Structure 1
Amino acid sequence: MPRVLTETDVADFRERLCAAAERLFAERGPDAVTMRQLAAELGVSPMTPYRYFQDKDDILAAVRTNGFNQFAAALETARAGAKSARAKAAAVGEAYVRFAFDHPHTYKLMFDLNQPIADSHYPELEAAGRRAHETQTAWVKDQIAAGEMAGDPEAIGAMFWAATHGVVVLEMAGKLPPGAARQLHHQISSTLAKGLKPGA
């Protein structure tokens, strides 16, 4: 008869399993990883992960939820720690690039398109995705309020996000030399900002 698990036991094992899954998913792709492999990675029986998660998609959703929340927290902290609107924009952009390269496995899985964020099966993932999305428009609203930019904050945020994500992924794929993503991010952001100034 299996022992009764405490909340701490469950939380600890889920955390260990998510950490192992994050690495294997990023290395091999979620489709190539099995629940049996995840169990072997932790040295437990093949059925043990099913005591904590319904299936592999459930684990992937948990990993991505944690990722989006960590990402959002990093950008929120950066924005809160800067004073002017312009400084907030720079701090958020720097935090974005730093997070991506400090947590490459997490970053890749956050934007895995095989599992949509807007999925009613995973409300926690959906909420974390919304929180992360809000970090992409909050600093733009600061800029607009300060008269530094004009336009739709959602559209502007999407432009900056697409540009930053693009250079990050290119460097991660070895298409850009190390450090190029950060440099290009600064150049692109500066160019976009100039074009978005009121009256530009």
Structure 2
Amino acid sequence: MPRVLSEADVADFRERLCDAAERLFVERGPDAVTMRQLAAELGVSPMTPYRYFKDKDDILAAIRTNGFDRFAEALERARERATGARAKGAAVGQAYVDFAFEHPHTYKLMFDLNQPIEGDYPELVRAARRARETMTAWVEDQKAEGVMQGDPEQIGLMFWSSVHGLVVLEMAGKLPPGTAQRMHHTIAQTLGKGLRAQS
């Protein structure tokens, strides 16, 4: 008779499966990875992963959801710990770059991969929205203190696009190591000067 799995058993296997899938998805691309290969990575029968996830898209959505939530938590925590609008903006930028280079596989799957059926996963949609909101919150701080003016969503998008571009270029070996770390400060300062509230 099969052993009855506890919630902890289920959570542990799901986490191990997602860890293996994340690595293989980045190395080979999701299309080149099979459920059978994932089962082999964990030393279980080919049908075992189906007890925990419907299919590969389900696994990918779980990985990306977890990634967006962890990313948002890191940026939210950095913002909460800093004092003053400028310090909050700098802390968010630093947390962004730190997360990207500490979790490069997760970062790539979060942002560099299109999942056409994303809308089928409400938790993924929620987590992605939460991550986007971290790009607006620090700008709201700047506006509230009279440091910056303009549309927070547009300003946040400019910052996000710029830093993401630096991160991806450095990850691809197109920029020297440490460039994103140095340049995100310059981007923030330049944005701040160009969007400074007029007295």
TM-score > 0.5, shorter chain as reference: yes
Can you give the 5+ residue segments of structure 2 that lack an aligned partner in the other structure? Answer: none
Q: Is 1:9 aligned to residue 9 of structure 2?
A: yes
- Distance apart, 1:113 and its partner CA: 3.3
The aligned amino acid for 1:40 is: A
**% same residue:** 75
- Distance apart, 1:112 and its partner CA: 3.4
The aligned amino acid for 1:39 is: A
TM-score by length of 2: 0.96
Q: Is 1:65 aligned to residue 65 of structure 2?
A: yes
- Distance apart, 1:178 and its partner CA: 0.6
Partner Cα distance (1:85, 1:137) in 2: 13
2:85 match:
85
1:146 match:
145
SS in 2 for 1:99: helix
Structure 1 residues 138-172: Cα deviation after superposition (integer angstroms, max 9, x where no partner): 00000011111101000000000000000000000
1:124 match:
123
Partner Cα distance (1:177, 1:112) in 2: 20
The aligned amino acid for 1:2 is: P
Q: How does 1:145-164 map to 2 (within 5 A)?
A: 145-164=144-163
| Alignment: residue pair count | 199
Structure 1 residues 78-100: Cα deviation after superposition (integer angstroms, max 9, x where no partner): 00000100000000000000000
Q: Is 1:112 aligned to residue 116 of structure 2?
A: no
The aligned amino acid for 2:22 is: E
- Distance apart, 1:184 and its partner CA: 1.4
Q: How does 1:13-32 map to 2 (within 5 A)?
A: 13-32=13-32
TM-score by length of 1: 0.96
Partner Cα distance (1:120, 1:181) in 2: 32
1:171 match:
170
2:187 match:
188
